Structure 1
Amino acid sequence: MSKPKKKKKQQSGWTITGMIRITHWLPGWFIRSLSRMTAYANFLLDWRTTKVMRKNFQMCYPDLDEAAINVKLKNSIRHNSCLTKEFATAWLGGRSQIANMFDQVEGSALIDNILDEKKPLIMAVPHIGNWEFFWHWLQFNYRIIGMYQPAKYYGVEKLVLDARQRFGGQVFPTDTKGIMNLFRALKQGKIMMILPDQVPRMGAGIYSPLFGHQAYTMTLLHKMLNKTGAEMLFGCCLRNSNQSGFNVHIEAPSFEIRNRNVEDFNADMNRQLESIINRWPNQYQWTYKRFKRQPEGNDPYSFK
């Protein structure tokens, strides 16, 4: 990378981290209101983010008419507008500030039972509610590990990495050495958190059905379960009804996770992800281009 480009990226990183710090300092009501106004402007002007959300709703809920999709869009915007302040708090907040945001926990006995049996555990946490807060809840209560992909800007990467390891968690890069360290840490009895609905790099996934469409889905989770003998649970951290705090939800897989081919495993995993999303559709990250990689090479998010 040339020196001017490197300097520009450093300056952009400082700007972004500065904005995150200001967001953390400003009152929550102000940031949420500002985020909501920006999101609604995006909706009214039908900018790219709204187009992505609309396309996702059209693909996942083909029976809905335009009016019903607009209702879903507005509900999703209301929840997405919370993320800006929430991420700033997750990355810069203190332990007591974050711990006080958890209201209820459902299903933690499932984790404790697995750990009592001295088995490794993988928590599959989709992009619903706030996954950064779920990571913190795990940090506060268990020995946990996870993966990270290097951020585009150094300052942002350092901020996020520091946050994810501040309360005892440990993260590894998604390279060969990092994956080996993950396997080793899992076998030592630590809990691994993974985002199962993330689009993997080419060669690291297969096409599996999700809401009736082909979605490029990771094979790493299936591989780790079978090579380490780990158990698996699903989890999410959901905003409560008045959006003043979070409820942690944990559930067991509704399918057999062991001794199966990856095609059947991924199909069943995506089916359970559908169930989770359908229970709390307003809190899913519909702005994510989940179907961007298609078998035919077309991109459903190529808007004119």
Structure 2
Amino acid sequence: MTTTLTRPATTSAGSPAPDQPAPTHALSVRDLHVGDPSTGHDIVRGVSFDLPRGGVVGVVGESGSGKTLTCRAVLGILPEPFAVTGGSVEVVGRDTATLTPREWTGLRGSTIAAVFQDPASYLNPSIPVGRQVAEVLRVKLGLRRRAARERSLELLAAVQLRDPARVWAQYPFELSGGMLQRVLIAAAVAVEPQVLIADEATTALDVTVQAEILDLLAELRASTGLALVVVSHDLAVVAQLCTEVLVMRDGEVVEQGPVSRVLHDPQHDYTRLLVREHEQYGLERFLGTDGGELR
């Protein structure tokens, strides 16, 4: 990393009270159900996992398995008419069901953030990308214009964009997909959140750029203690980056455990099917030959 990221002070919405011990887990999901309250039909049923500080949990499954709804429930951004219909979500020890809209706004970005599949959809096409990163710093940290510009340049360098000053002044249409994803990651980690959800963040990228983004996420985790939730339909992505994995199908977790165990010795028929489908793409190169270690 060319720039050291230091965690700024968090808002009261994102931290426990000074006299309370720090929570063990950055994120804790318990028996989460998501559905349409008007019909009583749940799309996501009974998802549970703990994400320790600095940990990496993968969520895999085909389209429609409930991966993205689970993540949006954790972020508090479920689309209508969906809502959390059961269970609980705790972010650094705070039960999100108790948060006001203002507290949710304070929590997102400063404590928990996300990067999604299509970065161009989350960037304003009429504003230079550097200004958009700087705006996050101005809103969340109250930095003045010059300080926000300097810090945003540091962030663009930290996500390994060449010539950050030039990129800062460019518009989204002038950048490649991989560069846009790096900009979005810079914005997401601008206030040093403790949890980052990467929802299919590398799906639209070619293999080389995908590997670079995964390496970048691993480096950010190592340098800042960032906890990651990596959502993907690609087992190779999960094998490369994660230590724990949830396999989802039809809104439920069908298998869960250490990546090395689940991918080497899958117990559920659906997990076996996923592993077989991915073996032809070289999944084994991300797994140790002894069946217990990840490379």
In the superposition, the TM-score normalised over structure 1's length comes to 0.33
Whose helix proportion is higher, 1 or 2? 1
TM-score, normalised by the number of residues in structure 2: 0.34
